[in-house]
Amino acid sequence: MQIYLDGQFVDSAEAKVSVFDHGLLYGDGVFEGIRLYDGNVFRLVEHLERLEYSAKAILLTLPLTRQELIDATCETCRRNKLRDGYIRLVVTRGVGDLGLAPWLCAKPTLFIIAGTIQLYPPEHYEKGLRIVTVPTRRIGPAALPPAIKSLNYLNNILGKIEARQAGALEGIMLNEQGYIAECTADNLFIAHRGVLHTPAGSQGALLGITRDTVFALAAELDLPVRETNLTRYDVWCADECFLTGSGAEVIPVVALDGREIGSGQPGPVTQRIRAAFRQRVTTDGVRL
């Protein structure tokens, strides 16, 4: 596997980052997870725009222009002879000393990995996920804005561990007010009486690219979408529930905390959204 690392392509065995890199020492950096479908880098421009916003929010200057990032991303896929896969683009603060001071980092570190991913087993896309609510609360927007897709993922990792301890592949994270923020790695939607509902970014939800795609697809399918406060009660009593994410795509949820949602089977709204999404992924983006 060839890795793009600071302007060069190197073999994965030689792709190394300094132990003094602040991305490693402090989680100081930003990233994007991007999908490749049949030679189409799905919504690459939107991913890079979010990367730019994340970097700006933490006062990190990206070392490449947007077009240079597009070129580097596509070339990484080509060099690995990928037509379908998953891309991880990471920018760290760079090498510094053992103190927090980011201004002592001379230049950012940038690397791009293009490989494969399987977040959930295939059968769950047909039968649905059974998820739980995890004890760890989502970090509040006043502490760390959820719109920043940073390398600080320990909050989500703790939630993922708790979900696994409960025998689930994914878990809902509540905010400090008890409203649903998101799942550990995915955004959440419910369908109720013909309307889609999802938590707002102000509740702790990452403004996901797949989430945004669902907004557009819902408009085309004449399905109203509302960003609103959601509780576990709302999910339990919903007609349907599904999760979205670059890794997860669109995946149905059929139970929360042992309570079946709707019929206990993936519902028609979820299936319509998923089918429309699968049609979109090969046309909306940047071709290799």
Q: Taking a C-beta distance cutoff of 8 angstroms, is the pair 174, 181 a contact?
A: yes
Length of the chain equals: 288
Active-site annotation holds for 160:
no
DSSP annotation of 202 reads G
The active-site residue out of 16, 81, 127, 149 is 149
Q: Taking a C-beta distance cutoff of 8 angstroms, is the pair 160, 132 a contact?
A: no
Q: What are the phi and psi torsion angles at 108 (to 5°)?
A: -70, 155
E-only strand ranges, 13-124: 29-37, 40-42, 85-92, 109-115
**Rounded to whole angstroms, how far apart are CA atoms 199 and 176?**
14
Beta-strand relationship, 40-42 and 285-287: antiparallel
Find all residues with CB under 8 Å of 133, minimum gap 6, and list them: 171, 172, 174, 232, 256, 257
- CB count within 10 Å of CB 157 equals 12
By CB atoms closer than 10 A (0-12, 13-18, 19+), residue 127 is: middle
Cα separations (Å) of 89 from 23, 222, 239? 13, 34, 37
**Rounded to whole angstroms, how far apart are CA atoms 51 and 14?**
26
Half-sphere exposure of 41 (CA within 13 A, CB side): 27
Supply the residues annotated as catalytic: 149
